[in-house]
Each structure stands twice: as C-alpha cells, then as structure tokens.
A and B are shown apart, each in its own frame.
Chain A
C-alpha cells in the first residue's frame, strides 16, 4: 500500500495548439447554382459562398483535422456519442468533422426539400451509400470500419452540397475551430507524431511528447 502511494501515477494529458494560415487563401466563390433553386434560396438572404478555407483575421485556420499517427486499434467508436451531420439551408453542417471507426454518424435532413446522401469512400472496406432523404424523413445512420481521411458526403440533387468526414481507428483527433485552436484530449504519456491535415492546404507533421502536463503544438500553413 505504501509503495502504491509513493509511486508517481502517469496520467493522460491534453495536446493543445493553434493552426495558422500565412498568406492570402484563394478567394471563395458564390454558390450561384443555388440561385436557380427557389426552395434553397428561400432559406438564405444572400447567395452563400464556398468555404474551403476558414481563415480568421489573424490567420486562425479552422477546419483543420489534427490527429496522432500510429494509434490504430484503439477505437472506442462503438461506445462514443454519435456524430451529427445536418442538411440545413441546402448546405451540410459541419463541412469538416471526424469520427472513430464504428462510431455512428447521424445524417439529418432539416430542410423542407429532398436530399440524397451520397457517400463516396475511397478505402476498401468502407461501403459507398446513396440514400434518399425526403423532408421529415428519419435520420440516416452510418458507420465505417476502416480509417479514411476526408470521406466525401455529397448531395447530387444540390451539387454544391458536400462535407468530409475523416475516420480514425482511435479517439486521438479533433478539428480546429474558427479560432484555429484544437485540443486532443486524454492522450497517454508518450512520444507521438501529430499531423495537421487540411483537405486543400495539405498536411504538416510535428513530434510531441506528452508527460504529466498538457503539451502544446502549433502548426503554420502557407499559401502556395
């Protein structure tokens, strides 16, 4: 008993940081195709634009998927809370998110119009789906068994609608917020390779060591 009290207990800590985009990102463009669809336009005062690059006034880079490499086989997806992907205003919300293998993804239609949920995985073992979802239809639920980066969800009825969901075989990931900040929670002590991936800006990696206290890693992407 005395021995147990005296021994230091290794505890999990968080990895925190901020992602910055240096330079001017490509200009987003208006979704002019939506203007031909009165049902969708009725839910907007102005024509929405694309939002591939979510960059704050000081370069805070949102929608960057940050994860630890080499952690496969530790999924807790079966018991994790489901992730929700909503179709609202003929747009997917959120555009970028991440889940674990086996974790449920609930796709909801909050719109008064028809959508089709067309998921186009590229990794073997993850099945393609194309399901109709009329207004008021029950939520659709999907799970994926293989890790995959940026699996595309799209609507072919409204071809400007798309979202990407990354699937990890572990719980050590997150997506940076509009303030560019990210937190990967409850990481066991150890040395890791951490990756920041943006669908268009590419990938960056860094080494990080987690001890008793939170570790900090920052990433900077530059305009090409």
Chain B
C-alpha cells in the first residue's frame, strides 16, 4: 500500500464521522435505558411496532416500556442511515483504500446489529441481547476510529517524522488494559441480559461477606428475602459469581489504567498529549467505579445503570484511541498508511 503524501483532510467528512460517533454513543445510552427499564420485549413485533410501520407508530402509544424500546429502534435507524452515508462518502471521497473498506465494515456491522436487535425480539432469545450489547460497543469503537482517521490531526500525524514514538512496552500495556475493559463490558452485558436485577444487593461487602455464600440454601434464602418490584428473574449462583468477577476485574482495570498514567508520565513526559489522554482515561475509570457502586446503592436505578454503560463505552474507546494514536506515532512514515488498520486489527483480533 502506497503512502499518499499529499493526503488532505476533508473537514465535512470528519465532522460527519464525529456526528455519527456521537449518535452511536447516544444510541448506546438508549439501549442501556431499554435494558435498565426491562423494556426490551415491550414491542413484541419487528420491524413493525404493534402492527404499525415503525416510523408511523403513533406517539400517543409510546407509553411505559414502549417509549424506551421504540425510541431505541428509531434512533438506531438514524444511526444506520448515517453509517450508510458515511460508508458511501468514504468510498467516494477518501483516497485511502483501507478507509473505504473500514466504511464498508461499519455499514455491515450496523446492518448486522440492527438485524440482531430485531431477531432478539422475534426469536425471544436473551442470549442474543448479550451479542447485541457487545457488538454495540465494538461498533462505537469503530465509528470513533473512523472519526479519528478522517481528522486533520491524524493526517498530520501520518505525515510527520516519527521522532516522538511511544515505547512498545507502554503500547502493549494499554492494549492489554483496553482488552480487559472490553472483557469487562462483555461481563457487564452478560449480567444485564440475565434480567435478574442486582445479583448482589450490597457493596463493598457481598451479602455481608468478602465472598458470598453461593450454596443452594443461600441462594434460596436470597431469593426469599428479595422483594422485587419489577419482573426480574430469580438470582442464581452463576450471576453472583459473575458480579464478583466484575468487581475484581474493575480493580485490576483501575490499577492498569493508573499504571498507564504513571508509565506515560515517565516515558512521554507530563505534557505529552497521550499522557493527558491517559489522565482523562483514569478519570473515566474513577467515574465508572463510582457509577458501578451507585448502581448497587440505588438498587439499579435506570439512569445510574445506564450512565454506567455509557461511561464504560467511553472508557473502552479512550483506551482504543490511545493505542491507535500511539501506534500511529510510532511507525515509520512509509508504514503510516497501513498502520491504523493494523492497529485496529490488533485490537479486534484480541477481542
């Protein structure tokens, strides 16, 4: 692949890519509200809504859980349209071949995501919801990466001599932590799509202990004592263990991101933009932990639980973009054009 030295940024393409990424972020929030309100099955048909064409479903009928599910569908349609436009735009106007294909991948992913969301409803399969949630996070990373690659910042970065490269060890560390965040998001999506509410209702203890009793008697006791106001599933030992792992991995991620800040300061200096991005990343992780605790203390209030999903997505994207930028800064100029695809491929391959 040849380097295009006179590659210029297209400001409107970049702005549209940013808009698509922002719309995707809001869509993640809308999806979080659907599961937080246990409303995923409140519109039993798809692609119609209660027999109406989705886009003609009367607003007067958007009540209760229908409001969350239906607005999620409409917003998803808008993101699908935006992604299609973005893919066509990239294909027609971006001179980088790999960018054209990245647009195609984004289109295929959003199409698959829409169909998956529909099948989750029509096939009544909770497990599809987990995939739907995980693909959503992956798609968000992809749209943010496309926005990065279409930016003036990235074009400039590709053209520069690599006198400010990032050590391989630091890059690998960030890649590892980012993958860990992705695995943590899979754990979170699995917990959400168990539709069991809070498997452990207290924090920092777990049923009053460091490690909760998961014997059948204990599970029966937890379910007996739990008074649910919504139609959630009974608690199981699997769900309790899942939440305990989620808590432990959160601590490991915090330590990993804090270490990334320390290593960035040491290797790149405090004024480097990647160091500043790492500090922002750490702040996100702190917020994420606070929202995680608040999710438990508020008995999984829908807005708090949704904020936990959204900050989790931002944490993943920040780690991924940090790695891609560091990779772009570290390769030789002759390799610059292939670098982002390899960097993104490295992330994807480890997922």
Contacts and interface: CB of A to CB of B under 8 A. Distances in A.
Contacts of B38: 156, 159
Q: Which 3 pairs from chain A and chain B are nearest by CB? A: A156-B42, A154-B231, A162-B231
B271 interface: no
B44 interface: yes
Contact of B44 (A31, A132, A200): A132
A18 B51 CA distance: 48
Contact of B124 (A26, A33, A130, A154): A130
Nearest to A128: B124
Given A37-B63, A37-B64, A39-B63, A28 B227 contact: yes
B44 A116 contact: yes
B225 A26 contact: yes
13 contacts: A50-B227, A52-B227, A114-B64, A114-B66, A118-B41, A132-B51, A152-B231, A155-B42, A156-B38, A158-B64, A159-B37, A159-B230, A200-B223
A103 B1 CA distance: 69
Contact of B227 (A29, A33, A202): A29
A160 interface: yes
B227 A156 contact: no
Interface string B316-331: 0000000000000000
Nearest to A53: B227
Interface string B40-81: 111111000011000000000101111001000000000000
B135 to A, nearest CB: 22
Interface residues of A, number: 36
Contacts of B226: 26, 200
Contacts of B50: 114, 132, 134
Given A116-B42, A156-B41, A200-B223, 12 more contacts: A40-B64, A113-B64, A116-B41, A130-B44, A130-B124, A154-B231, A159-B38, A159-B231, A160-B230, A161-B231, A201-B224, A224-B224
A32 B227 CA distance: 13
Contacts of B225: 26, 224
